[in-house]
């Protein structure tokens, strides 16, 4: 079971938080998928309720006697006729005075005694419901809980659609389902949506999810689900790029911002740098392209090629890159010494964290220990343009810096349902001065980490308000290998701040010229007149 918390990297999982990747839908906490209910062959509730009534035990007489009774009132049996026309071929002949029968039977009086009900049924003789029990059992066995619909056998495609519907029904955070009747949607979809092929079924599922108007709840074809998993496991096949949100500079063509290029990967070897803008992928403009779509286009089979149009400063580059299996190292670090003398001079350990994959917490610990061998006495944790990743890795990294305290509250529509905290047992660097750098590209797991460090007064935050992704998603696998990314909860910072669409607000701003990588940061510190030295990162 993989637990995720991601946001906007094309190299792993684009902008959303994921709390769980599940294959086994059997446990009951937030970190488990709700168990799928078995298909329930039941008709409309009113018929089901009548099936449980003492009327079930009436003595059965002949079928013909029922047909010969009464005049024109068929209010009771017509719904059953509609549900199973093949069994009730003579439905048009039924005429039962239901109100009279109800009065005669006095169901409430005889509800507690099977013997009395049977005896009473003998008194009313040919007025009884002939073969009523048999009819109800047939209706219940062939119906699909769709009111007043012809009965049909559920196809494999119908079952896949219902599997997706049930997952949303059980797991989705908004139990109003964006103000619609979720059961009614299922009925209408089974009646009206074409589901003759797997592609049509996938389209029906996507259409269903679109009604929630939640950009983070989405459908994943089998290959996309595999790609998502590989991206959170520290390696994938692609060009080694992490991309951010659509951006525009000075009226120039819009595109997708390059957050980072994996060292040694195809993009890095081609000279693509952080801050470059991807204008087109395989001659398709990225101006209106979402990060999900872009991530899928950048990934592909090993040895295949992809064409990129990239703007690097004023220069436009046309590159043809070959996809490779790229190992994703989420952490880079460097020792930066301030230009001062004496034993009190600052030796800063700069750590840039670009994503939260399975290597993240271990890589952060390793960077801290390496920097400590060089006698650092302060740290800078750079979370700018970190769009998230695995949720547990965000929690583990928070524990590295904190000696105690709440890390995050997990909430649903009823309030707090889970608390992640730490007792300090996993703390590695709980005392050195710490500055955290954030911007609007800091999202999801990065915001959880930044909020925890700020609210516990462990760090001072510099930059601009973060993206504001306060929802948690889980990834569920369907029986055919496809999957659903579903919003299952929201979270609050330790100060009970709901950051959704607001973000984590930093303590101090940063100059726009503040460097974005370790080498530029260290060089900037060496210049007394630079932007770095105008910001008091470690003012005491």
**Catalytic residue annotation:** 444, 469
CA distance 482 to 224: 8
CA distance 540 to 533: 15
Q: What six digits make up the tokens of 433?
A: 């001065």
Contacts of 150 (CB under 8 A, 6+ apart): 82, 83, 85
* 8 A C-beta contact, residue 464 and residue 506: yes
Contacts of 218 (CB under 8 A, 6+ apart): 206, 209, 292, 484, 485
Q: What six digits make up the tokens of 264?
A: 């040694």
Angle CA(459)–CA(460)–CA(465) in degrees, nearest 5?
A: 120
Contacts of 330 (CB under 8 A, 6+ apart): 353, 354, 355, 356, 357, 359, 360, 363, 389
**Pairing between strand 405-412 and 483-492?**
antiparallel
* 8 A C-beta contact, residue 83 and residue 47: yes
DSSP string, 316-362: EEEEEEE-EEEE---EEEEEEE-S--STT--EEEEEEE--BSTTHHH
Task: Please give the torsion angle defined by the CA atoms of residues 408, 360, 438 and 214, in that order, rounded to the nearest 10 degrees.
Answer: -60
Number of residues in the chain? 540
- Phi/psi for 466 (5° steps) reads -75, 180
Q: For the purposes of burial, counting CB atoms within 10 Å of the CB of 424, is it exposed (0-12), middle (13-18) or buried (19 or more)?
A: exposed
DSSP string, 392-406: HHHHHHHHHH-SSEE
Q: Given CA atoms 309, 310, 313, 315 in this order, what sign does their dihedral have?
A: negative
CA distance 521 to 535: 12
Closest CA to 490 of 414, 426, 376: 414
CA distance 351 to 429: 13
**Pairing between strand 324-327 and 235-238?**
antiparallel
């Amino acid at each position: 079971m993989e637990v995720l918390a991601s946001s906007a990297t094309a190299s792993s999982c684009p902008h959303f938080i994921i709390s769980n990747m599940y294959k086994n839908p059997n446990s009951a906490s937030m970190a488990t998928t709700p168990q799928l209910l078995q298909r329930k062959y039941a008709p409309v509730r009113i018929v089901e309720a009548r099936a449980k009534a003492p009327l079930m035990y009436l003595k059965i007489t002949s079928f013909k006697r029922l047909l010969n009774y009464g005049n024109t009132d068929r209010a009771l049996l017509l719904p059953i006729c509609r549900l199973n026309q093949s069994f009730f071929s003579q439905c048009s002949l039924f005429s039962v005075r239901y109100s009279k029968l109800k009065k005669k039977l006095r169901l409430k009086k005889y509800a507690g005694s099977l013997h009395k009900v049977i005896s009473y049924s003998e008194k009313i003789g040919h007025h009884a419901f002939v073969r009523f029990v048999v009819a109800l059992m047939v209706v219940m066995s062939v119906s699909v809980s769709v009111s007043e619909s012809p009965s049909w056998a559920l196809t494999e495609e119908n079952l896949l659609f219902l599997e997706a519907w049930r997952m949303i029904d059980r797991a989705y955070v908004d139990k109003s389902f964006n103000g619609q009747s979720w059961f009614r949607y299922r009925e209408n979809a089974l009646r009206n949506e074409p589901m003759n092929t797997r592609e049509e079924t996938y389209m029906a599922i996507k259409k269903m999810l679109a009604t929630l108007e939640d950009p983070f709840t989405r459908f994943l074809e089998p290959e996309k689900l595999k790609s998502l998993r590989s991206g959170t496991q520290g390696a994938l096949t692609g060009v080694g790029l992490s991309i951010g949100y659509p951006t525009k500079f000075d009226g120039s063509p819009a595109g997708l911002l390059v957050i980072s290029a994996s060292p040694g990967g195809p993009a890095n070897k081609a000279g693509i740098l952080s801050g470059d803008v991807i204008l087109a992928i395989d001659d398709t403009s990225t101006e209106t392209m979402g990060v999900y779509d872009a991530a899928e286009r950048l990934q592909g089979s090993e040895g295949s090629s992809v064409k990129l149009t990239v703007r690097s400063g004023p220069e436009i580059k046309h590159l043809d890159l070959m996809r490779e299996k790229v190992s994703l190292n989420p952490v880079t670090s460097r020792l930066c010494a301030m230009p001062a003398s004496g034993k009190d001079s600052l030796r800063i350990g700069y750590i840039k964290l670009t994503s939260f994959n399975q290597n993240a917490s271990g890589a952060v610990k390793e960077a801290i220990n390496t920097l400590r061998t060089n006698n650092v006495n302060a740290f800078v944790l750079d979370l700018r343009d970190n769009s998230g990743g695995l949720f547990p890795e965000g929690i583990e990294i928070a524990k590295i810096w904190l000696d105690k305290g709440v890390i995050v509250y997990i909430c649903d529509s009823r309030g707090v349902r889970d608390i992640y905290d730490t007792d300090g047992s996993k703390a590695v660097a709980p005392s050195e001065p710490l500055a955290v750098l954030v911007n609007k590209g800091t999202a999801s797991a990065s915001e959880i980490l930044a909020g925890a460090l700020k609210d516990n007064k462990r760090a001072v935050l510099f930059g601009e308000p973060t993206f504001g992704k306060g929802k948690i998603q889980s990834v569920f696998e369907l029986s055919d290998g496809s999957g659903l990314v579903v919003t299952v909860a929201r979270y609050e910072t330790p100060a009970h701040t709901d950051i959704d669409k607001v973000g984590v607000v930093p303590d101090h701003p940063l100059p726009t010229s503040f460097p974005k990588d370790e080498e530029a940061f260290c060089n900037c510190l060496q210049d007394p007149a630079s932007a770095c030295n105008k910001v008091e990162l470690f003012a005491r």
